[in-house]
A and B are shown apart, each in its own frame.
Chain A
Amino acid sequence: MNATSQLKFRDPVLGRALGDKLNSVVAELGRSPVSVMHVCGSHEQAIARFGLRSAFPRELDVVMGPGCPVCITDVPEVDEGVALALQGVRVCTYGDMLRVPGTVKSLADVRGDGARIEVVYGIDQAIALARETTEEVVFFATGFETTAVATAAALLAGVPKNFSVLSAHKYIPPVMEIVAEMPGTRIEGFLAAGHAAVITGSGVFEDFVKAHRIPVVVAGFEPLDILAALVRLVELVRDRTPEVVNMFPRCVSREGNRVAQEQLWKVFTPVGGRWRGIAHVPNGNLRLKEEWSAFDARRRFTIDVSRLWDYAPPKLLGQCICGEIMSGSRGPKDCPLFGKECVPENPVGACMVSTEGTCRIWHQYGGHLDLRGVS
């Protein structure tokens, strides 16, 4: 069986046609730059991996926003995980979280110092570990709604008494409000992340579009998905007709996954909180509801982060511009550390740690691959 023949979202003829269409729609706007934002590390991976920016018109700036769940986990949240581990609690977390810097230490740093940090693939492995021991086990839960629904479902299904959750889960829709309201923002439209929208549904963006008059297009991960979604998005900008358009209907419905939503909101409540480097995001953080107190690590333990101040912060961290990169106001190439002191083997900032971080992706795929002008 020829696998590539089934890749209907890779057809090069259609790809070129969409590239041409994108060029003509942007040209009709007659100004530069036209800036749009996506909020998904996997979109940036696909754009970089397939060299899509070489097909974008020069006037179109496609910026990655706060779409890397590991990256936007805030410094004090990492500190809480680190402090818990130093207090002798077994802390389980996703592998990408290990080297994300806290104020002075990452989880990997304290593991080197003897703290017990377990890398798990999902919450169920952390629960299984708790069942094998009488020790306290904390799952440091990070990620957007796609992983928060798993945390919710696991708690609802029942967990052992020595298990609790340190929630750093984030909810994407509110951060789009923040970006839209940033003074001097140049973002004129959003591509919404496909699989987060599998959970929330495309309908979740309707109020946002009404309030901010900025169009939102839900996009998939294939090269043609992204090109087609960008064409539609720029058309909406051109026509000044802000609306929600679902260009990923083979995965996303207007209502989303209601079963998952129901479980999510049984367990979590949205609260305001900081996203690393970006801002306080009202309703952007997901905390365990009062009735889940017994399984909330923040209520179960006195988390003493003060002991972390015995250490000096890493010298280079002050120069890291991850926050500005995640809010889309600057890019990796604007960072003096990018590809020099900050590399995947020895990352300074969170954006170089995660496979979904902008800096890591650009470093992996040759940065801002731009073949425009190359014949």
Chain B
Amino acid sequence: MCLGAPGKIVSIDGLVATVDFFGVQKAVNLHIVDEPVEVGDYILNHVGYAIRKIPADEIEGTIAMYRELLDGPPGDLMREDVEGEQGARSPRAESRGR
């Protein structure tokens, strides 16, 4: 729950954005993001809410870090947490860690 996941805003409809997380798109709420965002910006997502706009000069490094986490072996806990956040795994497959 703490790592979150970074993603790129693809479109915005009111306070809901469609965000691309390493190829997986999902809806993210913009109610509590710290700064105004627009299409093309990167945000940090926690449980379906953007909590932070990622500044332009930190996007590359942030993406690289998460990409490395996602390249971890199956069952790696940091990979699991990030995958959970980006919605790549079905939340109904609740056996996280089995």
Stretch in contact with the other chain, from A2-10, A76-84, A233-241, A271-279: A2-10
- Interface bin, chain B: 35 or more
Contact A6 B60 (CB under 8 A): yes
Q: Give the size range of A's interface with the partner.
A: 35 or more
Q: List A contacts of B65 (CB < 8 A).
A: 7, 9, 221-222
| B72-92 contacts to A (CB < 8 Å) | 72, 75-78, 80-81, 84, 87, 91-92
Residues of A within 8 A of B3 (CB): 42, 195, 221
Question: How near does chain A come to B94, taking the closest CB pair, in angstroms?
Answer: 4
Q: Does B68 contact A (CB under 8 A)?
A: yes
A58 to B55: give the CA distance in the assembly, Å: 38
Q: Which of A67, A195, A344 has the most CB of B within 10 A?
A: A195
Q: Tell me the bound Cα distance from A198 to B60 in angstroms.
A: 19
Shortest Cβ gap from B53 to chain A (Å): 10
Interface positions, chain A 33-64, Cβ under 8 Å from B, are: 40-42, 45-46, 49
User: Given A95-B96, A124-B29, A263-B31: A361 and B77 within 8 A (CB)?
Assistant: yes
Shortest Cβ gap from A52 to chain B (Å): 13
Asked, given contacts A40-B2, A153-B32, A259-B33, whether A45 binds B78 with beta carbons under 8 Å apart, the answer is: yes
Q: A143-B1, A149-B49 are in contact. Are A6 and B32 (CB under 8 A)?
A: no
Which B residues touch A152, using CB under 8 A? Answer: 32
| A280 at interface, CB cutoff 8 A | no
B66 → chain A closest CB, angstroms: 10
A119 in contact with B61 (CB, 8 Å): no
| Chain A residues near B (Cβ < 8 Å) | 3-4, 6-10, 40-42, 45-46, 49, 67, 69-70, 94-96, 98, 119-125, 143-144, 146-147, 149-150, 152-154, 156-157, 193-196, 198-199, 221-222, 250-251, 257-260, 263, 344-345, 355-356, 360-361, 364-365
Give me 10 other A-B pairs in contact (C-beta within 8 A), A122-B48, A360-B77 excluded.
A3-B67, A4-B64, A150-B48, A156-B31, A157-B31, A198-B51, A250-B61, A251-B52, A356-B77, A365-B77
Taking a contact as CB atoms under 8 Å apart, the answer to whether A263 and B32 are in contact is: yes
A-B pairs with beta carbons under 8 Å apart, 6 shown: A95-B91, A143-B47, A146-B4, A150-B32, A356-B2, A360-B77
- Check B47–A123 contact: CB distance below 8 A: yes
Q: In the bound complex, do residue B47 and residue A147 qualify as a contact, i.e. CB atoms below 8 Å apart?
A: yes
Which A residues are CB-close (under 8 A) to B15? 157
The 4 closest A-B pairs by CB, nearest first: A122-B48, A6-B64, A121-B91, A95-B94
Contact status B51-A345, CB under 8 Å: no
Q: Across the interface, do B34 and A260 meet the contact criterion of CB distance under 8 Å?
A: yes
